[in-house]
Amino acid sequence: MLNRLPIMQIRGGSSKGVFIKASDLPSDVKQRDEILLSVMGRDDRQIDGLGGSHPLTSKVAIVGPSTKEDVDVDYLFVQVVVGQNRVDSTPNCGNILSGVGAFAIESGMVKIHDETTMIRVNMLNSDKICELVVQTPNGEIEYEGNTKIDGVPGSAAPVICRYLDIAGSICGSLFPTGKYSEKIDGVNVTCIDNGMPVVVIRANDLGKNGYETCPELSLDKELLAKVESIRLEAGTRMGLGDVTSKVIPKMTLISEPREGGNICTRTFIPHTCHSSIGVLGAVSVATACIFPKTVAHAISVVPQKLNKQMSVEHPSGEFSVELICDESKGDLVIKKAGLLRTARILCKGEVYYPSQNYN
Ligand code: NQM
């Protein structure tokens, strides 16, 4: 007999995931992860599951009422690592997060308030808060609208995302190695975590111009090997331990902006080139630009004002993020990161999965 599990599939930003209520899964983490692998698919094609054979479509959100005061829901992000029959719940995902408001409302966890509904989400992966503002006119969630985000065709209703105090979310501090820049494997890098651990490298320092297409970069075996060797050492220096089987830190090659933005990027997540850039990845890279001693500062365009509108160029367009900063003892402190995403519910129903693969 196959088992059944209620799910929704939702596109959140430029990713797509399966959303599940926390109360519908076992609390035992091993059992839970085995179920997620059966649901999403274990092989590289995910032929026997709902995953889409790509890191951006092999994602799960587990959502439940929050145990924290003044917070509506808890959200745990789980990356089902394509082709490796394992999951990684160390990173966070800001794209899937933008679908959490829709899931919370659709599943009755959160009531609609007004024309818009604000949902405070506790991101369990990083124990940080994000405020989501979802469009809810006429007592219903509105998915359609005019907001366009690069990496997604067409337009949809906006979801406003405001991340609060996310510096050092995963590694404990904004510059986890204690340095703005350092040499790894003979290459200057900046290791940063403003919501997502990222290693920022000038593309030129790796013999690239930084404007290559994703397939060009993903097929460059020599580049991939160099990037991975830097990543493994950076992971240790950033306090993440042995990151061989982790999907963090992400690796971002940067170059001067050429489409009117503030910086140009090509990101590996961590072994496949991202067709755009992750939400928190973009926040971390934008943050690297505004600090004078990083490898990003000199080649980026940095606004003077304390509230900095940053446009991060990527292979399929750009990603806008507003960094709300303050100054403390001459140093910049980032209080909030604000950005726009869209989300669409794709289906509601039950997924069937076999029990033989877990016990
Ligand atoms: O950085 C891709 C994505 C992501 C993660 C990745 C994300 C984020 O585009 O917050 O959204 O870095 O694997 O969904």
DSSP 8-state secondary structure symbol assigned to residue 23: G
Same domain, 156 and 257: no
- Phi, psi (deg, nearest 5) at residue 315: -60, -25
Placement of tokens 């004078």 in the chain: 292
Give me the domain span that covers residue 267: 182-326
Residue 48 covered by a domain: yes
Closest CA to 319 of 94, 138, 136: 94
pTM of the model: 0.91
- Helix or strand holding residue 121 (H, E): strand 116-123
Helical ranges in the chain per DSSP H: 29-40, 94-97, 100-106, 214-218, 221-237, 279-290
Structure-block tokens of residue 256: 């001067």
Same domain, 150 and 196: no
Same domain, 113 and 189: no
Ligand 1 atom with the smallest distance to the CA of 55 is 13
Residue 171 covered by a domain: no
> Is residue 191 left, alpha or beta, with left meaning phi > 0 and alpha meaning psi from -120 to 50?
beta
Same domain, 140 and 193: no
Residue 121 covered by a domain: yes
Give the model's pLDDT for residue 71: 97
Ligand 1 atom with the smallest distance to the CA of 267 is 12
CB 157 within 8 A of CB 144: yes
Q: What is the rounded CA–CA span in Å between residue 238 and residue 232? A: 10
**Mutational pocket test of ligand 1: of 78, 79, 95, the residue with most ligand atoms within 8 Å of the beta carbon:** 95
- Exposed e or buried b for every residue in 119-154, given b needs 16+ CB within 10 A? bbbbbbbbebbbbbbbbbeeeebebeeeeebbbbee
pLDDT tens, 312-333?
A: 999 999 999 999 999 888 888 9
Give the model's pLDDT for residue 331: 84
> What's the 281 CA to ligand 1 centre distance in angstroms?
6
Ligand 1 atom with the smallest distance to the CA of 15 is 14
CB 201 within 8 A of CB 288: no
Same domain, 209 and 319: yes
- CATH (domain of 114): 3.10.310.10
Question: Can you list the residues of the chain whose pLDDT is less than 70?
Answer: 357-359
> What's the 150 CA to ligand 1 centre distance in angstroms?
14
Same domain, 28 and 157: yes
Residue 336 covered by a domain: no
Q: Is 14 in the pocket of ligand 1 (CB under 6 A)?
A: yes
Ligand 1 atom with the smallest distance to the CA of 59 is 14
Give the model's pLDDT for residue 359: 44
Q: What is residue 203's three-state secondary structure?
A: helix
Number of domains in the chain: 2
Same domain, 149 and 291: no
Residue 229 covered by a domain: yes
Q: Is 196 in the pocket of ligand 1 (CB under 6 A)?
A: yes
Q: What is the rounded CA–CA span in Å between residue 159 and residue 146? A: 12
> What's the 267 CA to ligand 1 centre distance in angstroms?
10
pLDDT tens, 146-164?
A: 999 999 999 999 999 999 9
Ligand 1 atom with the smallest distance to the CA of 276 is 9
**Mutational pocket test of ligand 1: of 279, 316, 319, the residue with most ligand atoms within 8 Å of the beta carbon:** 279
Please report the sign of the dihedral spanned by the C-alpha atoms of residue 109, residue 114, residue 116, residue 121: negative
Same domain, 151 and 246: no
> What's the 329 CA to ligand 1 centre distance in angstroms?
33
Indicate which residue's Cα is closest to atom 2 of ligand 1: 278
Q: Is 278 in the pocket of ligand 1 (CB under 6 A)?
A: yes
Give the model's pLDDT for residue 358: 52
Residue 272 covered by a domain: yes
Indicate which residue's Cα is closest to atom 13 of ligand 1: 269
Q: Is 55 in the pocket of ligand 1 (CB under 6 A)?
A: yes
Indicate which residue's Cα is closest to atom 12 of ligand 1: 278
Q: Is 176 in the pocket of ligand 1 (CB under 6 A)?
A: no
Same domain, 43 and 74: yes
Residue 295 covered by a domain: yes
Q: Is 94 in the pocket of ligand 1 (CB under 6 A)?
A: yes
pLDDT tens, 239-285?
A: 999 999 999 999 999 999 999 999 999 999 999 899 999 999 999 99
> What's the 282 CA to ligand 1 centre distance in angstroms?
9
Q: What is the rounded CA–CA span in Å between residue 73 and residue 71? A: 6
Same domain, 267 and 141: no
Give the model's pLDDT for residue 329: 82
Residue 169 covered by a domain: no
Same domain, 76 and 155: yes
Same domain, 240 and 348: no
